[in-house]
Every structure is written in structure tokens, then in C-alpha cells.
Amino acid sequence: MQVIRFIISNQQRILEYTLNHFSLVITVMLFSLVLWFLTGLLISRYQRIAEPVLSFSNILFCIPSISLYGLFMTLPQLGLGRRSAALALIMYAMMPLVRNVYRGVKSVDPWVIEAGRGMGMSWRQILLEIQIPLALPVVFAGIRVTVVLITGMATVATYIGERNLGRLIQHGIARSDYNMIITGAVIVSIIAVLLDYILGLLEKRLTPGRV
């Protein structure tokens, strides 16, 4: 009850934080998808750079989020706020996205590709009509993990000036205000679950007819 009362009396602020949070996640995801999808395709085609790229993404992923935020913040071109936060989150998205795109493309039965080549499909047709469609389930698994991950990590960006749901949690902790903490946590979770659910529906639409 108290939580609800808290939400009602702080409507304006919560709405602002939620929208900020949401838009940060969406921005990061859009950039990440384009960037890391292409990177994944690239390394699946040029095997020699696959290993170094994947290792690099692993190392990035191992850096604690708060230190990466901190590092980017100190760069004059980035500074406090959204730019540093978005860039750090895009870096985190690299590992699960690149790896799943790579794994998805690589998991396509090589004989199907062989048959496609033998039939006279160009490499572009093989990519668009065979490799990408068949990689989609694995790619989607990666996208869904990434969305949940980014939604959670975005909360920490409050420490470099992002006005999002993380701020409710941060301030809640500072003031020992349970209602505030719970509100922030629940809304973050709802966003994560919701995005994951929507992606699940999308996946079903895009991959018909298979077991």
C-alpha cells in the first residue's frame, strides 16, 4: 500500500525516470544490434579475426560496469551523462550479441550451404536466404539475454548522472526508503520482462515452420 502511495505521489518523477531508462535501453539496443550483428557476420565470414574479436568482447564484459562508466566519464568528449552510459552499455552488449550471431551462423549445417552454392546461389543469397534465417533462433537468444542485461546495467548509470530508475534505487538506499527501492526495482524488472516477451513474440513470427 505504501509503495502505491509513493508511486502516486511521485508520479511525475517516476514517469520521467522510466522514460529515460526505457529510451536509454532502446538506444543502446538499436546501436548494438546494427553494430554487433554486422561484426558477428563479419567474423563468421573471416574466420581469422573471429578469435581475437571474441576474446576482446569477453574482456570488455569482465570489466565491472561502474568502472567502465567511470572511465568513459573522464573522457572530455563523453563526460557525465547519457553518452558515457550508452557507450559503456554498447560495449557490454558486444559479447552476448557478437558471440550469438557468430555461433548462430556457424551452427548452420555446412551441407545446406554446400547445396546452396552447388545450386548457384551467390554468397549474398546464401547469407540472406540460408545463414541468417537459420541463425535467427540463436541470434534471438542472444538479443533477449542482452536486453535483460542492459536493462539491469542501465540502473548503475545513475552514478554518472543518468536520471533513470537506478536513481530511485540509489536514493532509496541512501535514505533507507524501502518504497523507493522497491518501486525502482519492480519497474526495471517489468521493463526487462516486457522487452523479453515482445522479442519472444517477434522470434516466433520470424522463424516459422521449424521444430
- List of long-range contacts for 46-55, beta carbons under 8 Å, 24+ apart: 50/102, 53/98, 54/98, 54/99, 54/102
Binding mask of the shown chain, residues 43 to 82, with x at each position contacting another protein by CB under 8 A: ----------------------------------------
Chain positions 98 to 137 lying near another protein, rule: CB under 8 A, are 109, 111-122, 125, 129-130, 133-134
Query: Closest approach of Cβ 144 to another protein, in Å?
Result: 20
- Give yes or no for residue 139 binding another protein (CB under 8 A): no
Query: Closest approach of Cβ 39 to another protein, in Å?
Result: 24
- Give yes or no for residue 205 binding another protein (CB under 8 A): no
Answer yes or no: are the C-beta atoms of 199 and 155 closer than 8 Å: no
- List of long-range contacts for 168-172, beta carbons under 8 Å, 24+ apart: 168/14, 168/17
End-to-end CA distance of the chain: 46
- Give yes or no for residue 210 binding another protein (CB under 8 A): yes
Distance CA 140, CA 16 (A): 30
Give the number of other CB atoms < 10 A from CB of residue 195: 21
Query: Closest approach of Cβ 119 to another protein, in Å?
Result: 5
Query: Closest approach of Cβ 127 to another protein, in Å?
Result: 13
Residues that bind another protein (CB under 8 A): 109, 111-122, 125, 129-130, 133-134, 207-211
